[in-house]
Structure 1
Amino acid sequence: MARMCTETVRLRVYLIYAACGAVVGLSAFIAFLAVYSNYHAAIWGLVSGIFATLVVLILVPHTRFLYQRYRILFYLQIFGLVVAIGSCVAFIVYIILAVVQHQGLDPTSYYVTSVWVFMTAKWAFGLFYFSRSQKRKYEDENQLI
């Protein structure tokens, strides 16, 4: 009973965290696009919000039946891993560009963009992790039947 309660609390914390990530990603997109004209940071903020939304959709118990298909979870897992690796490469590239161009820490610099690239990598890895855990739950439930 205590394990079930702990898992429920952990799931709710993950859901709240991912929902906040989706809202913040959308807010970053609007702010960097409209106020600062930093298109790189705006796009990466939007992509980060999209990946956070995918994490929410995987974790919500009511929509979990949509993702309990083995192939969908497998493809989401691979997609999350590929984007996480690509985002790590982009993070390094943006840091190198900011250093080479001697940019400061203003809202239009590549340093700010690298923060949102890191957030995208984090949510893409989260998509990989939670897709993998849901896929394992699906496999365990189907082996019991």
Structure 2
Amino acid sequence: MGKLGTVIGLAFSGFGIFAGFSAFFTFMLYYSNYQASVWALISGIIAAVNFHLMILFYRDKLESWHSVNTLKDIQYLAFFALLFGTTGIIWYLFKIIYYTLPILPVDDSMQIAAVWAFMTAKWGVGLYFITNKYTKYIEEISPRLLNTGRSRYY
């Protein structure tokens, strides 16, 4: 992904941050749908981490802010976001289908919570692949401590 791809990713991540946090406040304060609001908040946070990494990569500051170890830790966060989001989707779809729940009223809607669980899983997948790409990038530009030229030593 070149600079244009990074700019497009930044635009999508910025929109994800805006959508997640605005949905959090809307569903929390106006509709009192606490399940959807928590999923929207988690989705916005994962989108913000994705935005943070992309902006650092775009400005060529990624290696000064993060090491391979911190990117691996962020990759674990992304995996758990994917795992919990997928679990949430399965749980909400089960409840919706089994109990034939309607989408309205919004304050009790499980469908909206399922959508935001999907958004959390989607941002988890995106963050996982971005951290994988940036980990390889940092490993590529960082010199090894012992470079003997023999592959059996490392």
Give the TM-score normalised by the residue count of structure 1. Answer: 0.89
Identity of aligned residues (%): 24
Q: Which amino acid aligns with 1:95?
A: L
Q: C-alpha displacement at 1:144, in angstroms?
A: 8.0
Alignment of 1:100-111 (within 5 A): 100-106=98-104, 107=106, 108-111=108-111
Q: Give the aligned partner of residue 39 of structure 2.
A: 44
CA RMSD of aligned residues (A): 1.6
For 2:21 and 2:80, the matched residues in 1 are separated by: 22
Question: Which amino acid is the alignment partner of residue 71 of structure 1?
Answer: N
Matches within 5 A, 1:24-35: 24-35=19-30
Q: Does 1:66 align with 2:65?
A: yes
1:111-122 mapped onto 2 (5 Å cutoff): 111-122=111-122
Tell me which structure has the larger Cα radius of gyration.
2
Residues in 2 aligned to 1:83 and 1:28: alpha-carbon distance in whole angstroms: 18
Question: Quick one: distance in 2 between partners of 1:26 and 1:82?
Answer: 20
| Runs (5+) with no aligned partner, structure 1 | 1-5
Partner of residue 57 from structure 1, selected from 39, 52, 59: 52
Moved more, 54-63 or 89-98: 54-63
Q: Match for 1:11 among 6, 17, 30?
A: 6
Number of residue pairs matched?
A: 139
Alignment of 1:91-102 (within 5 A): 91-102=89-100
- Deviation per residue, 1:68-106 (Å, 9 max, x gap): x01100111122112202211111001111222221122
Structure ranking higher in helix proportion: 1
TM-score (norm 2): 0.84
Give the C-alpha shift of residue 143 in structure 1: 4.3
Runs of 4+, deviation exceeding 4 Å: none
Which ranges of structure 2 fall in alignment gaps of 5 or more residues? 146-154
Residue pair 1:98, 1:109 contacting (<8 A) in 2 also: no
- Secondary structure of the 2:142 match is helix
Partner of 1:3: none
